[in-house]
Amino acid sequence: MARNILLITSDQQRYDSLGCNGGTVARTPVIDALAAGGVNYQRAYNQNTVCMPARSTILTGQYPRTHGVIANGVPLPVDAPSVSAYLGDNGGYRTALLGKAHFEPGFDLGGKWEENNRARRGDTGPWRGFDRSIQAMHTPAVTVPSFDDGPDRVVPVAHYGRWLVDNHPEYVDGFASLLSAEGGGDTGAPETKNNPIPTASYHTDWIADLAVEWLGGLDDSAPWFCWVSFPDPHHPWDPPASELDRVPWQDLSLPPGHPGSEDEIRRILGAKPAHWLGYYDGTWQNREGGPATFVPSSLTDDQIREVNAKTHVMNELIDEACGRILSTVAAKGWESNTDVLFTTDHGELQGDMGLLYKGPYHVDALMRLPLVWRPAPSACVSPAVVPEPVGQVDIAPTLCAIAGLPVPEWMEGLPLPESSAEARGQERERVLCEWDSQFPGYGMHLRSIVRDGWLCTVYEESTDGKPNGLEKVMGAAVLRPSGVHYQGDEGELYRLDDDPWQWENRWSEPSIRAVRDDLVADLYAALPEGRSQPLEVEAPA
């Protein structure tokens, strides 16, 4: 029988969060064991640093410029290809997507998109090539203020939100507000809260329960593909309060990517393009990656420690949930015939350079992914560490290869190499990442290449003020320029081995101008052509 496939993703998890990748705080023995028995990719990168484009790339095996979701707020077309549909139609796979999807805008209280309407109807059936699809987001509900003297309206978000509102409404208010920057927790850190919800009712365990239930109901009549998608450790940082003693924030040092002083932060950010220091100062709002009102320079060291501690707790809970799912696979007798992949959509700044959240920042904190593939033991693949660059665009082709199916022409990646030698044979020289603004008043366009130990980012000329569709939804105010405009000659260049946190921008160094020019030429030669006309942005996220 064809091999089963378990794809597990988290959201906004750093490469260095895992013990197998050098993490020293969160205990991740389950994923570490997968890495020890499989292939650990040391230089895996996404093709976009925010949720919707990255997740659409995992589903389609295409670059954002091809599938069209170049930014949050651009819904993936309903006729977009799906690796799950391909496995089902051509390999007879039974399929499920359990957890966060986010192929369509999440801020959708009016129910414009099917991803959100399905939960309202209680529909858990076929969607985007999955036989079963049940969703969760970071927060269970949104409170809509009343415009009269009546009570505020609580609107559940996704299937998990509806389940919590219906079964445990007393815990709905225990979550922090998403993208509000409201202080909480012990230190007043943004989007933190000491959440009273029991661990068993938190979305991490709820999703693991769904996976255990779905797998438990299958027989051996056909192979299966299950994508388990945890919303954590994406903000808000509000894991169950009963779990916080796992990592007391008071015991943490500042993360190694933090320069240690405000003067050093300003020196580092001042050598980068203008929106870096502008974000830190609050003179430029990072609306496309975090709360518009958040100003990183206002963070205290203790607030950074608390955000990191809560993140580590979230990561430990995900690791334990993975263990439960893998135990179910083993109990069903499928362990020897099941491939397991673990990865995330993008990373998190998490205190690096004094910053939080994500956005138009092409550094390892956001681009570099944990990516572990434990091939089925029956495949007889030797454990390996692969230092050559690979991409998120390679995940879907890998699933096809596992299933014994040809990689369809519409996929733009390659099956992941099983060893470093194979990677060299595939000429795994480079990986690409792009950024295109969702807010037309920003109009930023970044193109990055990782190759030969260098990370090079080109800033194309800004199109701030040029309509992209969002103005039809949010009004002409979103066309107002953000205050940072790039002429097209700015950029960033880092030597990754010598500068692991990308503190020293070498873009303007005359002695390496030839290296820069070669990387830029290679970047544009390698980029796929993409769509002739970009899709419109239809929502803020």
Position 83 in a domain: yes
> Are 457 and 446 in contact, with CB atoms under 8 Å apart?
yes
Q: What is the pLDDT of residue 143?
A: 78
Which residues, 6+ apart, have CB-to-CB distance to 380 below 8 Å? none
- How many helical (H) and strand (E) elements, i.e. helices and strands, does the chain have? 15, 17
* Cα separation values, 305 from 28, 111, 194, 255, Å: 19, 38, 14, 8
- The span from the CA of 306 to the CA of 189, in Å, is 7
- For residue 401, give the CATH number of its domain: 3.40.720.10
- For residue 309, the tally of other CB atoms under 10 A from its CB is 27
216: CB partners within 8 A, 6+ apart: 328, 332
pLDDT at residue 107 in the model: 78
Q: Which amino acid is at 463?
A: T
Separation CA 39–CA 400 (nearest Å): 17
Distances from the Cα of 39 to the Cα of 57, 419, 540, angstroms = 21, 7, 37
Structurally, the chain folds into a number of domains equal to 1
Strand 153-156 relative to strand 189-190, pairing = unpaired
Tokens of 401: 């290869």
Q: What is the largest CA-CA distance in the chain?
A: 69
Amino acid at 175: F
| Separation between Cα atoms, residue 435 and residue 532, nearest integer Å | 17
What integer pLDDT is reported at residue 383 of this predicted model? Answer: 98
**For the purposes of burial, counting CB atoms within 10 Å of the CB of 497, is it exposed (0-12), middle (13-18) or buried (19 or more)?**
exposed
Angstrom distance (rounded) from CA 38 to CA 121:
41
Q: What residue numbers bound the domain in which 236 lies?
A: 4-428
pTM: 0.98
Helix (H/G/I), strand (E/B), else coil: 228: strand
Residue 415 near residue 401 (C-beta atoms within 8 A): yes
**Considering the domain boundaries, does residue 218 fall inside one?**
yes
**Average pLDDT of each block of 10 consecutive residues along the chain (541 residues)?**
96 98 98 98 98 98 98 98 98 98 90 94 97 97 75 88 96 94 97 98 98 98 98 98 98 98 98 98 97 97 98 98 98 98 98 98 98 97 98 98 98 98 95 98 98 98 98 97 98 98 98 98 97 96 89
> For residue 390, what are the contacts with CB-CB under 8 A and spacing of at least 6?
41, 43, 44, 45, 371, 416, 417, 423, 428, 431
DSSP one-letter string for 1-20: -PPEEEEEEEES--GGGSGG
Specify if 354 maps to a domain: yes
Question: What number of other Cβ atoms are within 10 A of residue 394's Cβ?
Answer: 24
Rounded to 5 degrees, what are φ and ψ at 159?
-65, -40
- Within a domain: 373: yes
Whether 132 and 95 have beta carbons less than 8 Å apart is answered as yes
Check if the beta carbon of residue 371 is closer than 8 Å to that of residue 390: yes
- Between the alpha carbon of residue 537 and those of residues 70, 109, 151, the distances in Å are 9, 17, 33
What are the C-alpha distances in Å from 286 to residues 182, 266, 334, 438, 519?
16, 17, 46, 12, 28
* Beta pairing partners, 386: 41
Nearest to 389 by CA among 371, 404, 407: 371
- Within a domain: 79: yes
- Write the DSSP symbol of residue 527: S
Enclosing H/E stretch for 340 = strand 338-344
Give the pLDDT confidence score for residue 296 in this predicted structure.
98
- Cα-Cα-Cα-Cα torsion 390, 395, 397, 400, nearest 10 degrees, comes to 140
The CA dihedral of 103, 109, 113, 117, to the nearest 10 degrees, is 100
Q: What is the pLDDT of residue 108?
A: 85
- Residue 531 inside a domain? The answer is no
Alpha-carbon gap, residue 413 to 434, rounded angstroms? 15
Q: Is residue 392 part of a domain?
A: yes
Burial of 384 (0-12, 13-18, 19+ CB in 10 A): middle
Which helix (H) or strand (E) is 95 found in, with range? strand 94-99
pLDDT at 146: 65
Q: Is residue 442 in a domain?
A: no
Note whether 184 and 192 are within 8 A (CB).
yes
* CB 340 within 8 Å of CB 6: yes
